[in-house]
Amino acid sequence: MQKDLETKFLSDFEQNQNIAHKICRVYTTNQSAHNDLFQEITIQLWKNYPKFRGDSKFSTWMYRVALNTAISLYRKSTKTIKTEDISEIAYKIKATDYDNTEEVQLKALYKAIHKLNDIDKALIFLYLEDKPYKEISETLGISSVNARVKMNRAKDKLKNILKP
Amino acid sequence: MDLLDNYKKAWDNQPEDAHKVSSLEIYKMAQSKSSSIVKWIFIIGIAEFVGLNSLYFFIDMGEAMKEYEKLGIENFVFYSQIAAYIILFYFLAKFYQNYKRISVTASTNTLMKKILKTRKTVRNYVIFNLGYMVLIIMVVSIASINMNFEELNTKQLLLIVLSTLIATLLILGLLWLFYQLLYGILLRKLNRNYKELAKLDSTI
């Protein structure tokens, strides 16, 4: 039984790893930081998996663990992560099979997100991922009302940065 | 349409990350934890070596040597210290080697073996340090008993032996506690990693 559970974790994680990659893109601006965060998220997910009882979807649980890992790690190393350092974000986004205007938009979006604080990053990320407020509040451990208020503020900040 | 809605479309259409991580790579991620623990074992080993040796700056070695000469064991002390330093350097090199090797390990199986090896090195290191301590105490006390043998009666002799034994045990206990604190925590963490790896290994 235990063995089945672990195989399941590995396959679930493999399928949902893009969630972790997107979070890494939101919180880091270069490849090595991306890999470090990805690794830390992997370790945290693996460590916490025994506590995951399957009362929510794996992906929901993964959002929560991964985002909290990113936030706590980001807090520890605010000095090492420079928000201006966006030149390397291009490393991720490939032009092939991909609309050029959207590529430009996506880069601008990441650039703007990198200027937000750690919590606002999480809020905007969850908004972009179409998460309902109930899930957002559970993921970040705040009340639904609070999530709404904070979300509106975060969106305003983002819009201000994105404004031409 | 909201300004953000435009960007949201771009977000939804963003390509997946080029680097897909396979389940096989997960154990490599757990592995780096082990290598950082082993690195700390190496660093603490060096710090301990430097720290203990700098104690000699505060102890009057000339005075101590005179005492040893009185007891007639100055040769023993001199050579045993040289031997001890060689062995200590050997252990430091071992710690470093463990750290270097564990950083480049590619499979769970060899990593597990290396964790076990590191644990063994640390254990031997502690045993050596404690053993050396006991040897020195024994030699010094036997030498001092020998020197004063004529003047002592049985009762006094027994008392000296007993008090030496108790002092030795006390020092050993303290040293053991010291090492438990220094390396025990790291070894426990390493052990936990080992168990996680063992679990992973059985699933892949």
pTM of the model: 0.53
B15 touches chain A (CB under 8 A): yes
Supply the mean pLDDT for chain B: 78
Confidence of residue A101 (pLDDT cuts 50, 70, 90): confident
Which residues does chain A have within 8 Å of residue B14's beta carbon, measured at their own beta carbons? Answer: 22, 93, 106
Angle at the Cα of A14 from the Cα atoms of B114 and A140, rounded to 5 degrees: 100
A14 touches chain B (CB under 8 A): yes
Domain definitions of chain A by residue range: 2-162
pLDDT tens-digit readout, A111-146: 999 989 999 999 999 999 999 999 999 999 999 999
Interface of B with A in 41-100 (CB under 8 A): none
Looking at residue A46, its amino acid is W
Q: Do the Cβ atoms of A128 and B10 come within 8 Å?
A: no
Q: Do the Cβ atoms of B16 and A108 come within 8 Å?
A: no
Say which residues have a Cβ less than 8 Å from residue B108's Cβ, sequence separation at least 6.
B27, B31, B197, B200, B201, B204
Closest-CA residue of chain B to A125: B11
Q: Do the Cβ atoms of A159 and B21 come within 8 Å?
A: no
pLDDT at A83 over 60: no
**Rounded Cα distance, B30 and B40, in Å:** 16
Say which residues have a Cβ less than 8 Å from residue A36's Cβ, sequence separation at least 6.
A28
pLDDT tens-digit readout, B150-163: 777 788 888 888 88
Is the reported ipTM for this assembly greater than 0.85? no
